[in-house]
């Protein structure tokens, strides 16, 4: 089995000297091909920092992050930008859509930046909008779309290049419960049907239940990894989460 993402003994600090904050403390983690992994932890635990390292949006102070065997910190800014655009799909809590572009144009943007042929762009965008069940909204701009529809467009933009891995940072944070469930189901279905590896940061057990496994981060360290299939329901995952948070800190 391939390992699209490998995090090797990374350390990430913010600040310097006595005021430095260690966000990640010698953390290692592998994401295998076809994984759907939820990263869970309290606010400030380092989970979003870990996701940003996987995306190459920031670099570790020690250790390294490999995506498809490439060490991200060894790539030039230009090569990293191209590599990220082609191989890493990014989904954020804020949808980050361009307000002057339609839904279809937002989804098409990564392909246009990559210089794809117009016929390929039309085919890929039509296919993605159909999969996301928003083809009827193709010509609407973001201000005419609901929050759930905007997040679907953002997901389409992340997936249209057919990346090896999708990284999602609290993708349901700005959605109501109904749209949150719909987005979680959509991500799970895409993982199962397309085989894309997904890493999802969340603090909500109800969202984590849609993943295949959960990784728990505490004080910048990986403290536990659990198979979601072994969980009876979100309440059991929530209990495990609270137990891990309440456990005494290791010396």
Per-residue pLDDT of the chain (251 residues; tens, 9 = 90+): 588 999 999 999 999 888 889 999 999 999 999 999 999 998 888 999 999 999 999 999 999 999 999 999 999 999 999 999 889 999 988 888 999 999 999 999 999 998 999 999 999 999 999 988 899 999 999 999 999 999 999 999 999 999 999 999 998 888 888 888 988 998 999 899 888 899 999 989 999 999 999 999 999 999 999 999 999 999 999 999 899 888 766 55
* pLDDT at residue 42 in the model: 87
- What is the reported pTM? 0.91
How does strand 213-218 pair with strand 36-40? parallel
DSSP character for 13?
A: E
* pLDDT at residue 100 in the model: 97
Label residues 126-141 b or e (16+ Cβ within 10 Å = b).
Answer: eebbebbebeebbeeb
* pLDDT at residue 182 in the model: 87
Q: How far apart are CA 2 and CA 164, in angstroms?
A: 11
Q: Are 200 and 231 in contact (CB under 8 A)?
A: no
* pLDDT at residue 43 in the model: 86
* pLDDT at residue 179 in the model: 86
* pLDDT at residue 18 in the model: 81
- Give the residue from 76, 74, 88, 37 showing the smallest Cα distance to 222: 37
* pLDDT at residue 1 in the model: 56
* pLDDT at residue 2 in the model: 84
* pLDDT at residue 190 in the model: 86
Q: Are 46 and 220 in contact (CB under 8 A)?
A: yes
């Amino acid at each position: 089995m391939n390992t699209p993402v490998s995090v090797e003994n990374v350390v990430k600090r913010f600040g310097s000297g006595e005021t430095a904050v260690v966000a990640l403390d010698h953390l290692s983690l592998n994401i295998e091909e076809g994984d759907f992994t939820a990263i869970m932890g309290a606010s400030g635990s380092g989970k979003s920092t870990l996701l940003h390292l996987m995306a190459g949006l920031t670099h570790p102070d020690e250790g390294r992050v490999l995506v498809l065997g490439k060490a991200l910190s060894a790539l030039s800014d230009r090569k990293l930008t191209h590599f990220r655009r082609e191989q890493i799909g990014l989904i954020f809590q804020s949808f980050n859509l361009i307000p002057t572009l339609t839904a279809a144009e937002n989804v098409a943007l990564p392909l246009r930046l990559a210089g794809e042929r117009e016929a390929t762009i039309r085919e890929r965008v039509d296919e993605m909008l159909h999969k996301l069940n928003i083809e009827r909204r193709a010509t609407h701009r973001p201000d005419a779309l609901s929050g759930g529809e905007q997040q679907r467009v953002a997901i389409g933009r992340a997936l249209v290049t057919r990346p090896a891995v999708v990284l999602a940072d609290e993708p349901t944070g700005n959605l109501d419960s109904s749209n949150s469930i719909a987005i979680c189901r959509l991500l799970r279905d895409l993982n199962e049907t397309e085989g894309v590896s997904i890493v999802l940061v969340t603090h909500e057990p109800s969202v984590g239940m849609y993943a295949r496994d959960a990784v728990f981060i505490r004080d910048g360290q990986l403290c536990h990894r659990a198979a979601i299939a072994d969980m009876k329901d979100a309440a059991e995952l929530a209990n495990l989460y609270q137990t891990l948070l309440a456990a005494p800190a290791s010396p």
